[in-house]
């Protein structure tokens, strides 16, 4: 009787934990076995129940008993960039929660066909209405994703991706279940760490919007299949899923288990891909498709996300340049179309320097904040500070000018050769102006620091 009661309690706790789910699953590349589940508040219970089979992180950090781990891996990367909220922000949080509750209530009623009975829904519809107006211009390169995220109460990735899936007719064409689509996008957005200054759901939404702009380019619009477009949008939305806010070298030198799992090769990108696959399977988004088609979609999604590994930038760029030099790209060829999708995603991922200055500057500050915060952690634990992560020897302008010169310019110059359109020229124009603006700020930053002023990023952080 006592044993039965214990197991009843255990079963209840497991159901409760899974009802509070907020995590991602990383699959081993060989047998697709689920090796890693991240859940908030589940550490103690899971250690007791599944300590031999499941790797769990909680709010207190990674499990200390993991062999090969450094003692400082007790750091919980999900809360690495969290800020203490001031008392004055509480009313604003309550307002946001009210909007979220009303939106959930409204969407639930619509799905069930229940008419409105509460006049408060009008406020929420007006709130969403502004976002809908913005989405009518989602193809504009000047699209302000920060403003759109505020309009959607921090749900920019969900609203934008759902809109684009409808815009391209993909939900109807692939007979996707709207409830599953919505649940998938909600889980995707939740699995981004929004405490990260840069690698968060807003960045994913921005990359998805940029991908949409590229998909509309004449060469792609007349050649890509519906399957290509679906993969492009899904890859953009999930390309940094469950990003920890530190880069691959940091994971490798701290013997993080993901680095071991993926043998120090495209560690983050492999994890982003496997996490996306985990959510696809959890929501059964493609369960109605033939098994072969579903597996093929997962494989191609992985190929796109793995292409965003910045350490392989020169490899992809050289291949792109060779194709263009030899004029051998044929978008009637499925493998060539897939390669162009890879290059489009790479461009979308690092297109911030090609945005208008007001947007580009915000992204530059956020990504450098992540870099500098990683550097601060490395100093604290007596690790070698990663390149560009030392706030005492680098400025935002230095980091951005180097990034634009050696990474962004070569890629977008080749993209302009492939797709010589107004958008390509606009991006190169913004890139040139933004680089000049950062150069103009260099002496100003140096002077400010020599005078003992605090850096423009008082709470510096990391990019990967």
Residue stretches of the annotated binding site = 199-203, 239-240, 349, 400
Task: Give the torsion through C-alpha atoms of 137, 143, 146, 151, to 10 deg.
Answer: -10
Q: How far is CA 412 from CA 206, 209, 416, 431, in A?
A: 17, 17, 6, 9
CA triplet 262, 266, 268: central angle to 5 degrees?
A: 85
Which of 199, 271, 323, 373 is flagged as catalytic?
Answer: 199
Q: How far is CA 290 from CA 277, 278, 287, 293, 300, in A?
A: 16, 18, 8, 5, 16
Q: Does the active-site annotation cover 199?
A: yes
Residue 34's DSSP bridge partners are 27
Binding residues for AMP: 199-203, 240, 349, 400
Q: Where are the alpha helices (DSSP H) in 54-199?
A: 90-112, 121-135, 145-151, 156-167, 170-173, 178-190
**What span, in angstroms and rounded, lies between the C-alpha atoms of 145 and 155?**
11
**What span, in angstroms and rounded, lies between the C-alpha atoms of 389 and 327?**
40
Exposure class string for 399-425: b at 16+ Cβ within 10 A, else e: bbbebbeebbbebbebbeebbeeebbe
Helix H, strand E, coil C: the string for 177-225 is CHHHHHHHHHHHHHCCCCCCCCCCHHHHHHHHHHHHHHHCCHHHHCCCC
DSSP label at residue 447: H
Binding residues for Zn(2+): 203, 239-240, 349
CA quadruple 447, 451, 452, 458: dihedral positive or negative? negative
Task: Give the torsion through C-alpha atoms of 138, 140, 142, 145, to 10 deg.
Answer: 10
**What span, in angstroms and rounded, lies between the C-alpha atoms of 278 and 16?**
20
DSSP label at residue 140: -
Could you list the active site residues? 199
């Amino acid at each position: 009787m006592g044993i039965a009661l214990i197991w009843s309690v255990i079963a209840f706790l497991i159901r409760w934990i899974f009802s509070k789910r907020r995590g991602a699953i990383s699959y081993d590349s060989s047998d697709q076995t689920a090796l890693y589940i991240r859940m908030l508040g589940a550490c103690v219970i899971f250690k007791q129940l599944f300590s031999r089979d499941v790797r769990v992180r909680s709010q207190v950090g990674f499990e200390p008993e993991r062999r090969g781990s450094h003692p400082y891996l007790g750091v919980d990367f999900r809360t690495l960039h969290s800020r203490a909220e001031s008392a004055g922000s509480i009313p604003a949080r309550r307002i946001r929660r009210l909007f979220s509750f009303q939106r959930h209530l409204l969407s639930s009623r619509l799905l069930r066909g229940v008419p409105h009975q509460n006049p408060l829904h009008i406020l929420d519809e007006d709130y969403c209405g502004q976002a809908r107006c913005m989405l009518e211009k989602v193809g504009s390169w000047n699209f302000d994703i920060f403003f759109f995220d505020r309009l959607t109460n921090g749900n920019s990735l969900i609203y934008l991706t759902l809109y684009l899936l409808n815009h391209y007719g993909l939900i109807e064409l692939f007979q996707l279940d709207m409830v599953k689509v919505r649940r998938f996008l909600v889980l995707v957005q939740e699995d981004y760490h929004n405490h990260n200054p840069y690698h968060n759901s807003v960045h994913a939404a921005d990359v998805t919007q940029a991908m949409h702009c590229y998909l509309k380019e004449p060469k792609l619009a007349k050649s890509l299949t519906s399957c290509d477009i679906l993969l492009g949008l899904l890859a953009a939305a999930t390309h940094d899923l469950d990003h920890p806010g530190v880069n691959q070298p940091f994971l490798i030198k701290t013997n993080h288990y993901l680095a071991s799992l993926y043998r120090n090769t495209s560690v983050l990108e492999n994890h982003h891909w496997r996490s996306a696959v985990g959510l696809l399977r959890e929501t059964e988004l493609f369960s109605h498709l033939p098994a072969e088609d579903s597996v093929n979609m997962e494989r191609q999604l992985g190929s796109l996300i793995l292409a965003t590994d910045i350490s392989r930038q020169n490899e992809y760029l050289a291949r792109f340049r060779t194709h263009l030099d030899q004029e051998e790209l044929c978008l009637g060829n499925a493998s060539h179309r897939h390669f162009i999708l890879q290059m489009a995603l790479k461009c979308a991922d690092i297109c911030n320097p090609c945005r208008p200055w007001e947007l580009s500057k915000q992204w530059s500050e956020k990504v450098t904040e992540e870099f500098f915060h990683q550097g601060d952690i490395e100093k604290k634990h007596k690790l070698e500070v990663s390149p560009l992560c030392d706030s005492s020897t680098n400025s935002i302008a230095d980091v951005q000018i180097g990034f634009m010169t050696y990474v962004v310019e070569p890629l977008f110059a080749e993209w302009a050769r492939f797709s010589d359109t107004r958008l390509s020229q606009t991006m190169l124009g913004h890139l040139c102006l933004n680089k000049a603006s950062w150069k103009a700020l260099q002496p100003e930053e140096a002077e400010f620091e020599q005078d003992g002023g605090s850096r423009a990023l008082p709470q510096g952080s990391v990019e990967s």
